[in-house]
């Protein structure tokens, strides 16, 4: 069944949604039984603004906690009860590879975005994406989502990530002090915030390409105002990757 988004509902006494619908507690138990299925959370969000608000406040939060429990505990360990950019944005980041449109964020590459079944995010890997003076920051980065045989572009990998407490991070302070440029038109596919160009700011260390198994001069990534990271790289052939690891 296709559900149409409705913005008129404010869940007032006249709203049809109030006539016999389930309470928050019951919906929580139902979605817990469904293992916080993201497709069903999206479907519920389309019913009305009240259900959309419930999904943002509760359901996406529990989805994130279930999918990446240790990561979520760490992201919230600073005392905050929310995550930069909201729980729905983080839930999408966990399961969605943004890809790239032609003439979009990564120039002429056209690879559609898609959902991924499972992705590993690593705090240790995140250190490789930070300059030495910023490595006290906490950054979780995914393994690259591989898109092989992309013509002249070769084997392309997309990666994504999130900073802990980005507003207080050294990376953010350095971006501001260097007057790093923001992309003029594109925004974060997860939270719609503006994007800083880490390549233009000269803040991508060589260790990032080693971690990804990519060519050193073929890696680029952005970080949004909420600390979401999305990037692209050209992957080395498997034999070359093995040799680089040995070195």
Helix (H, G, I), strand (E, B) or coil at 158: strand
- Listed residue (219, 226, 241, 157) closest to 191, CA to CA: 226
Low-confidence ranges of the chain (pLDDT < 50): 1-8, 81, 241, 244-247
Segment (H or E) for 122: strand 121-122
| Beta strand pairing call for 114-115 and 96-97 | antiparallel
**Residue 215: what pLDDT?**
87
What DSSP designation does 58 have? I
Beta bridge partners of 96: 115
Q: Is there a contact between 141 and 229 (Cβ–Cβ < 8 Å)?
A: yes
Q: How far apart are CA 30 and CA 141, in angstroms?
A: 32
**Residue 110: what pLDDT?**
84
Cα end-to-end span (Å), the chain: 55
| Residue with the two structure tokens 């594109």 | 186
**Residue 1: what pLDDT?**
41
Helix (H, G, I), strand (E, B) or coil at 107: strand
Length of the chain: 247
Question: Which residues lie below 8 Å from residue 34, measured CB to CB, with a gap of 6+?
Answer: 40
CA distances 133 to 25, 33, 70, 111, 204, Å, are 46, 45, 26, 34, 12
**Residue 111: what pLDDT?**
87
**Distance, C-alpha 154 to centroid of its chain:** 24
Q: How far apart are CA 151 and CA 53, in angstroms?
A: 43
Buried b (16+ CB within 10 A) or exposed e, 120-157: ebbeebbbbbbbeebbebbbbbbebbebeeeeebebbb
**Residue 5: what pLDDT?**
44
What DSSP designation does 117 have? S
* Token couple for 94: 């966990």
Q: Where are the alpha helices (DSSP H) in the chain?
A: 24-33, 38-45, 49-54, 60-67, 69-75, 87-95, 123-127, 170-177, 206-212, 238-246
Q: How far apart are CA 241 and CA 67, in angstroms?
A: 30
pLDDT, tens digit (0-9, with 9 covering 90-100), for 209-243: 888 888 888 899 999 999 999 999 888 886 654 55
Q: Is there a contact between 135 and 193 (Cβ–Cβ < 8 Å)?
A: no
Q: Is there a contact between 36 and 62 (Cβ–Cβ < 8 Å)?
A: yes
**Residue 121: what pLDDT?**
94
């Amino acid at each position: 069944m296709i559900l149409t988004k409705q913005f008129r509902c404010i869940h007032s006494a006249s709203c049809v949604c109030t006539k016999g619908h389930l309470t928050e507690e019951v919906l929580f138990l139902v979605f817990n039984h469904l293992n916080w299925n993201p497709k069903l959370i999206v479907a519920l969000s389309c019913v009305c603004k009240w259900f959309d608000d419930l999904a943002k406040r509760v359901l996406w939060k529990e989805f994130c906690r279930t999918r990446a429990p240790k990561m979520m505990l760490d992201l919230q360990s600073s005392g905050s009860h929310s995550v930069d950019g909201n729980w729905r944005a983080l839930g999408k980041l966990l399961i969605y590879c943004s890809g790239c449109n032609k003439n979009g964020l990564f120039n002429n590459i056209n690879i559609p975005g898609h959902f991924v079944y499972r992705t590993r995010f690593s705090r240790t890997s995140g250190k490789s994406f930070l300059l030495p003076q910023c490595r006290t920051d906490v950054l979780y980065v995914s393994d690259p989502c591989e898109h092989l045989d992309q013509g002249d572009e070769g084997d392309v990998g997309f990666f994504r990530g999130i900073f802990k407490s980005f507003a207080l991070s050294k990376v953010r302070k350095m971006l501001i002090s260097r007057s790093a440029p923001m992309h003029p038109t594109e925004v974060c596919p997860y939270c719609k915030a503006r994007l800083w160009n880490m390549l233009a700011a000269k803040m991508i260390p060589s260790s990032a390409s080693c971690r990804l198994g990519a060519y050193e001069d073929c890696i680029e990534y952005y970080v949004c105002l909420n600390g979401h990271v999305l990037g692209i790289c050209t992957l080395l052939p498997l034999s070359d990757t093995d040799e680089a690891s040995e070195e």
